[in-house]
Amino acid sequence: MKLIDVQHSFFRPVWRRVAVVVFCLGWAVYELATGSPFFAILFGAVGIYCAHQFFIAFDPKDPE
């Protein structure tokens, strides 16, 4: 069981994958600007993980 199933069919449209990555990385920048480096690193790591899973390792086919 995964915490977040990034291969789910909900993420098939490109705009949703881009929105999730931009939101996470944008939130990381916001947290860094407000002086919260822990949450900046946390959201940055989630954004980088999602970017890798959505644009490098993503398989748009339906799971069997």
> Per the structure block, which two tokens stand in for 56?
């490098």
Between helices 14-33 and 37-55, what is the axis angle to 10°?
160
Residue 60 falls within a domain, yes or no?
no
Q: Is residue 64 assigned to a domain?
A: no
Domain residue limits at 51: 18-55
Under the banding of pLDDT at 50, 70 and 90, the label for residue 4 is confident
Nearest to 58 by CA among 3, 1, 14, 2: 14
Asked if residue 8 belongs to a domain, the reply is no
Q: Is the residue at 61 inside a domain? A: no
pLDDT of residue 5: 79
Within a domain: 1: no
Domains identified in the chain, total number? 1
* pLDDT at residue 44 tops 90: yes
- In-domain check, residue 3: no
Specify the range with the lowest mean pLDDT, choosing from 39-43, 55-59, 60-64. 60-64
- Token reading at 63: 């799971």
